[in-house]
Homo-oligomer: A and B are copies of this chain.
Amino acid sequence: MRKINTRNFVRATRGTAREINRRIILNLVREHQPISRADLARRMRIGRGMVTSLVAELLDDGSIYEGSTAEAPRGRKPMMLFVRTHDRLAIAVDVRFSRTYLMLSDFSGKPIALEEFETIPDPAALVAGLARRIQKLLKGRDAKLKVNGIGLVVPGMVDATSGRILNAPQLGWRDVDVRDALEKATGLSVHVENAPIACALAQMWLGDGDTETPRDFVYLTVGDGVGTGIVVNGEVVRGHDNTAGEFGHVPLNPRGPECLCGARGCLEAYASNLATLSRYLGHEFSPTETRRLLQESGLTILDVIARAHAGEQRALDAIDETATRLGEGLAIVINTLNPSRIYVGGEITELWDRVEPVMRHKIRERALTAKAAETPLVPEPASSYPRLRGATAIVAAPVYAAPQVA
């Protein structure tokens, strides 16, 4: 029961029904490939003639392709259909505090080329550098491989419709427009997105290969900060001013450590990588001291994880406390949004066998129903580059998304 937006609706025209059914077929092929025309007709309860005609259009515009025929117990062998992902490309950019990652990948998220370089703090200079690298990246490529656009992910608040970066504290950017500049420099369409939302979009549109992604879930990212991407009813939640999902600043303890946001005892001040590292070094997190402390020690979160793996008690204690706090935060996520699943991304997933039971224990303590207490937690290893996959997803999604109607 969605309400129609009478300020900004899309009315149906002669071609709308066809467009809707074509998009449904494209998605059925995507999720059930290989699949035959006759199978599509059965699933959609539609005549095979209609399928032939719609499939012809999808073949024409290159969205799908015909593979070989498949075995059948009797009758004519069906001609199998597949979505064309290997020659539709996206350029994914992940801008982070110290380094920027640049990936060329196909529409399935499979990497073709990957490079990284030091982040240039000035937006204009970064755009110029990016444009140069992108041009070089595409130079030697086969012209047949169509690049559909650029997806750019930043740690911070983004207005996805205007493409403006509203506030990215880690980069020191405020109200910066990189989209238009990068579009002008490369001639490609550019989509900008906030990192946790991008990770959620990667899960939604590219999946993780094995299990089917639900239509309502939360993606928790644990990095220098703690953030979430929220998906409800098959759609991302951005919020009225693009600041939804800041579960990192849920207060856990009014007398807890000071947080970058100015408050005390935020989840992030307990569970971000900086906070974990700081705790390992014997200090509470502090927005003014911690960075200096870490630079002095030269340690990174991966060192703490390695030592925990090796069995060092101090490292294990630091990690356990982080997991406990994450569990408290996730209990709030579960009680307020009741997602069917929670994905967890970040270096901390390397210790999943240790971390998950601790989080689960807290969640069981706090969840309001027995079902909710067992909300599946799914780790996503950092090795799968979730942010870059998310950048790819924002380029690919418009091709597969439901057409806007009504």
Contact = CB atoms under 8 A, between A and B. Distances in A.
Nearest to A215: B5
B20 A406 contact: yes
Interface stretch (A88-96, A120-128, A182-190, A235-243): A235-243
Interface stretch (A67-75, A102-110, A307-315, A336-344): A336-344
B251 A339 contact: no
Contacts of A23: 4, 406
Interface stretch (A139-147, A286-294, A381-389, A396-404): A396-404
A141 to B, nearest CB: 27
Question: Contact residue range for chain A?
Answer: 35 or more
Interface string A212-248: 0011100000000000100011111111111111110
A31 interface: yes
Nearest to A239: B338
Nearest to A394: B1
Contacts of A240: 214, 216, 338-340, 375
A13 interface: yes
Interface string A150-190: 00000001000000000100000000000000000000000
Instruction: Quickly give the copy total for this chain.
Output: 2
Nearest to A8: B215
Contact of A1 (B215, B247, B250, B397): B397
B17 A14 contact: yes
Given A16-B17, A405-B405, A338 B242 contact: yes
A204 interface: yes
Contacts of A204: 3
A336 B338 contact: no
Interface of A: 1-6, 9, 11-14, 16-18, 20-21, 23-24, 27-28, 30-32, 44-46, 157, 167, 204-205, 214-216, 228, 232-247, 249-254, 261, 263, 328, 332, 335-340, 365-366, 368-369, 371-372, 375, 397-398, 400-403, 405-406
The 3 closest A-B CB pairs, nearest first, are: A239-B338, A240-B340, A12-B17
20 contacts: A1-B401, A3-B401, A11-B21, A12-B21, A16-B17, A228-B336, A232-B232, A232-B233, A240-B375, A241-B338, A243-B338, A244-B338, A245-B336, A247-B336, A249-B335, A250-B336, A251-B366, A336-B336, A402-B406, A405-B405
